[in-house]
Structures are given as C-alpha cells and as structure tokens.
C-alpha cells in the first residue's frame, strides 16, 4: 500500500494560511468591485436622469424648427449624448456628436415603457464601449417629442478593470506574505520540538545521556519534554534491567557449564571401553559447548549496545582478514574460499568491529556453497563493507535491517545460536552505522555494513 507523501507542519500551516488569505482577499475584492460598480452606475444614472429633467427647459429656450425640417437643431449642451426625436423617429434636435446620426432608440421602445425608459446600448460614437441611455416623452410647443439622454459606461468599465488588476496583484502578494509569515512563526515555534527530536535521536544512538537537555519556553513544549523524559526513564530502566538480566544469566550459566564440562571430561576416560556410553558423553559435551557459546553470545549481546568511548581509525581490510583467519582455523571448518578486496577505514572500536566481521563472515561461510566475497570501499563519507556468498538467501522475514535474536533466517545449520547477526547489528548501531541483509537474485545472500569513515588526526 503506497504511503501518501507527508508535508512538514510549517508547510501545512503556511499553505493553509496562504490559501485562506487568497480566498478571503479575492472574495472581499470581488464584493467590493460589485458594490462600487453599482455605485458608479447609480451615479451615472442619476446624472443622466438630472440632465433629462433639465432637457425640457433647454428645449423651450432652443429655437426648434418644424419637425419637417431636413436637419436637426444642434443643441448648445455640454453633454455629448442628447437626441430629441418625434414619434415617427425623426431627429429634430441633438448634441453635436449625434446630429448626423439617426435615432439611437426607436419610438416604440420608449412609448412601451411604463415610466422613463432605461437601457444599455452600444455607444454610437464608440462601438467598443457601452452607454446608459434614458428616454422620456415630453411636450414642446404643443408637439409630443421623445427626449433621449445618455452617458458612456467607460468609467465603470475602467474602474472594474483597475479593480481586477489590483485584486490580481494583491491576492498572490498578500497570500505569499501571510504564508511566509506563518512559515517563519511556525518555524520559530517548532524549534524546541526539533531540539527535542535531535536530543531523542542522540539518546537512541547512545550519544547522549538518558535526559533531554532542552529548556522549553512554553507550557506545551515543557509538558512534552517532561513526558518524553519520563518515557526515556522507563525505557532506560527496561534496557538496564534486560542488560543486567542477560549479564547475570550469562555469568551464572557459565560456572555450572564449566563444572559439568569438567565432570564429563573425567567421565569420558572412565567409559573408554564402552562405545555407546562414550558416544553419549561426547554428545553431551557437544551440547554443553553449544550452551557455553550461547551464554557467551548473550553476554556479548548484553554489552554490545553500550557506547564505545575509545573510538579510533580502524583498517577494515585488516580486521576482515583477521576475522577470516580466525574462522578458518576453527576445527571442522568447511573448505570454502573467502576473498577480501578493497580497503576502507572507519572510526570505531577495533575488537568490537572484528566481532562484527567474524559473525557476518561466519554466517556466510556456514551457508555458502564454495565462495564468500568481502568487498570494502569508501562512498559518500561512509565506509561500506559488502559480504556476499553463493548459498541460499535469507528468508523473506529476515530481509532488511532487523535481525531478531535466535533467528535462523537461512535455516539452522551447525551449532549456531542464532545471535550472530543480532550481535553484529547491535555493535554496528552503537557505532552509528547500519547493517542490511538482502538476497542476490535466485541464489546468494548479501550483508552490507556501513560505518562512519575514519576521522583524520
């Protein structure tokens, strides 16, 4: 099942703040545009209505000729959009800009309206713009005429365009500023949390005492720090209890094992003539030896997670060759070829790292068919050791970086206790390293160990 990509808390808060700001600013801006657009339009309509009311008085003063005159009278009005037409549609008076044009409204449209006729039409002097027109029936010198007054809606359109431009600029700008401010605020507020996480990580790696040395400046973070300290106290007590139990059990087991081994050695001489009894004693000695190795491994595992104060540069190639020689000298060891290639230097404890190589190489030797390869290199500031063999791979449950105790991930072969790779993993982790097990296709296994590279000086 695929995991959804996770975002940081500050990114989540910043994104939500920016989005909320954008929505709010856009909504307020659009509402403002609608409001002010209606105000501008109302002002234009009021102006047109006022001028229409004054038009009748202007017409009384103007010397209108008969309605049959061929040319309309040009009115001395400052407005550019004025027309006076008869009911037959003849223009008898107009402003200078409309004197040469026909009627902008038909008489039928005006007379059909219950009151003043109001409409938006294309501006006669500018077809790309709109105009608001108002018409009213009036009687001049006994003749019924229709007065038409209009005004361009260009100011309204210009105000709308300017407002949209301002909103288009303000929305991303304000959203970005608010998001950035929230990002900074959350980053500052989360600093103690990052310090707590860093301290907890250092404790987990054995690089710090079992206390979080952070002084929170808020009640919430202080409560979190106290809770984490209490948790660490419980974990420390549990680990200490487990380590002490393994330590004590290993010590207590080795004494009776040694006594029983000595008694069986004496008994072996007394049953020299009885083959059945001799075989039984040898089998018991073999089981005691396995039990003794198990007790020793438990003791090593109990101490493997402890920190190593004397870390120094270690030649991993030399350590790998020493571990290989020790393994191959063991009685009854299989005749396989172990090849060590490359070189790398790591910062660590020489004896502890030799135990890591001995356990990992011994596991490969035990399960391989004919060959084990140990490859050393330095990559990206880390010392990398790869141990491969041509035997059966690991079981699916043992692939990865988890090495359970008493786990026989490749089947039980020989007298192994199942603690070898678990001990190696504990030592590597205490060295701030990693260990990983994988399979190589249909045949073969691979164990990869990475350690901090040796520091100069």
Does residue 19 register a pLDDT over 50? yes
Residue 4 pLDDT greater than 70, yes or no? no
Mean pLDDT value of segment 51-80? 66
- For the domain made up of 310-452, the CATH class stated in words is alpha beta
Mean pLDDT of the region 111-122:
72
Task: Show me where the domains of the chain are located.
Answer: 13-159, 194-306, 310-452
Helix (H) or strand (E) holding 373: strand 371-379
Residue with tokens 């002084």: 215
Higher pLDDT, 257 or 111: 257
Rounded CA-CA distance 451/454 in Å is: 9
Q: Does domain 13-159 have CATH number 3.30.450.20?
A: yes
A 10 A CB-CB count for 55 gives 25
Contact 210, 231 (CB under 8 A): no
Q: What is the pLDDT of residues 141-196, one digit of tens each?
A: 777 788 888 888 887 788 788 888 888 888 888 888 888 988 888 888 778 777 77
Find residue 246's DSSP bridge partners: none
Query: Using one digit for the tens of pLDDT, what is the confidence trace for 320-346?
Result: 999 989 888 877 777 888 899 999 999
- CB-CB contact of 153 with 130 (8 Å): yes
Q: What is the pLDDT of residue 115?
A: 64
Residue with the bigger pLDDT between 290 and 38: it is: 38
At residue 320, the pLDDT reads 92
SS3 annotation, the chain = CCCCCCCCHHHHHHHHHHHHHHHHHHHHHHHHHHHHHHHHHHHHHHHHHHHHHHHHHHHHHCCCCCCCCCCCEECCCCCCCEEEEECCCCEEEECCCCCCCCCCCCHHHHHHCCCCEEEEEEECCEEEEEEEEEEEEEEECCEEEEEEEEEECHHHHHHHHHHHHHHHHHHHHHHHHHHHHHHHHHHHHCHHHHHHHHHHHHHHCCCCCCCCCCCCCCHHHHHHHHHHHHHHHHHHHHHHHHHHHHHHHHHHHHHHHHHHHHHHHHHHHHCCCCHHHHHHHHHHHHHHHHHHHHHHHHHHHHHHCCCCCCCEEEEHHHHHHHHHHHHHCCCCCCCCEEEEEECCEEEECHHHHHHHHHHHHHHHHHHCCCEEEEEEEEECCEEEEEEEECCCCCCHHHCECCCCCCCCCCCCCCCCCCCHHHHHHHHHHHCCCEEEEEECCCCCEEEEEEEEECCCC
Categorize the per-residue pLDDT at 280 as very low, low, confident or very high, splitting at 50, 70 and 90.
Answer: confident
pTM of the model: 0.48
**Cα 214 to Cα 199: distance, rounded to the nearest angstrom:** 8
Res 404: pLDDT: 55
> Between 340 and 29, whose confidence is greater?
340
Percent of the chain whose predicted confidence (pLDDT) is above 90:
7
Q: What average pLDDT does this structure show over 338-367? A: 88
- Residue 390's pLDDT is 86
Most confident of 69-73, 216-220, 233-237: 233-237
Predicted confidence at residue 1, as pLDDT, reads 41
Q: How confident is the model at residue 425 (pLDDT cuts 50, 70, 90)?
A: confident
pLDDT value at residue 86: 80
How high is the pLDDT of residue 315? Answer: 92
pLDDT at 100: 73
């Amino acid at each position: 099942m695929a995991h959804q990509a996770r975002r940081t808390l500050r990114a989540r808060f910043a994104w939500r703040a920016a989005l909320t700001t954008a929505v709010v600013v856009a909504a307020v801006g659009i509402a403002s545009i609608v409001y002010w657009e209606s105000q501008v339009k109302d002002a234009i309509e009021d102006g047109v209505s006022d001028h229409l009311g004054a038009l009748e008085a202007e017409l009384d003063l103007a010397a209108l000729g008969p309605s049959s005159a061929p040319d309309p009278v040009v009115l001395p009005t400052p407005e550019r959009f004025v027309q006076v037409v008869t009911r037959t549609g003849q223009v008898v008076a107009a402003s200078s800009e409309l004197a040469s044009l026909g009627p902008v409204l038909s008489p039928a449209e005006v007379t059909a309206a219950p009151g003043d006729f109001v409409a938006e039409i294309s501006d006669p002097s500018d077809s790309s713009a709109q105009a608001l027109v108002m018409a009213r029936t009036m009687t001049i010198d006994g003749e019924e005429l229709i007065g038409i007054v209009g005004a361009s809606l260009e100011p309204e359109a210009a105000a709308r365009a300017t407002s949209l431009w301002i909103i288009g600029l303000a929305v991303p700008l304000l959203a970005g500023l608010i998001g950035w401010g929230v990002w900074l605020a959350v980053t500052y507020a989360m600093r103690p949390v990052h310090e707590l996480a860093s301290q907890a990580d250092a404790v987990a790696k054995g690089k710090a005492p079992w206390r979080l040395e952070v002084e929170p400046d808020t009640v919430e973070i202080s409560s979190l720090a106290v809770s984490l300290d209490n948790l660490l106290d419980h974990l420390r007590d549990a680990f200490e209890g487990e380590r002490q139990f393994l330590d004590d059990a290993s010590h207590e087991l080795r004494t009776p094992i040694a006594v029983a081994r000595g008694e069986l050695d004496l008994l072996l001489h007394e049953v020299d003539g009885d083959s059945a009894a001799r075989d039984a004693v040898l089998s018991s000695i073999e089981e005691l030896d396995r039990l003794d190795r198990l007790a020793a491994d438990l003791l090593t595992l109990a101490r493997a997670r402890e920190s190593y104060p004397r870390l120094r540069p270690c030649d991993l190639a030399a350590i790998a060759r020493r571990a290989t020689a020790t393994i191959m000298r063991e009685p009854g060891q299989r005749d396989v070829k172990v090849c060590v290639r490359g070189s790398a230097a790591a910062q660590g404890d020489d004896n502890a790292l030799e135990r890591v190589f001995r356990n990992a190489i011994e596991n490969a030797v035990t399960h391989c068919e004919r060959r084990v390869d140990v490859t050393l290199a330095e990559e990206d500031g880390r010392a990398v050791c790869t141990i491969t063999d041509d035997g059966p791979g690991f079981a699916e449950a043992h692939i990865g970086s988890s090495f359970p105790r008493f786990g026989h991930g490749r089947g039980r072969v020989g007298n192994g206790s199942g603690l070898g790779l678990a001990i190696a993993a504990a030592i590597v982790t205490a060295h701030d390293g990693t260990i990983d097990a994988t399979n190589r296709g249909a045949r073969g296994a691979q164990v990869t160990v990475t350690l901090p590279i040796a520091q100069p000086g």
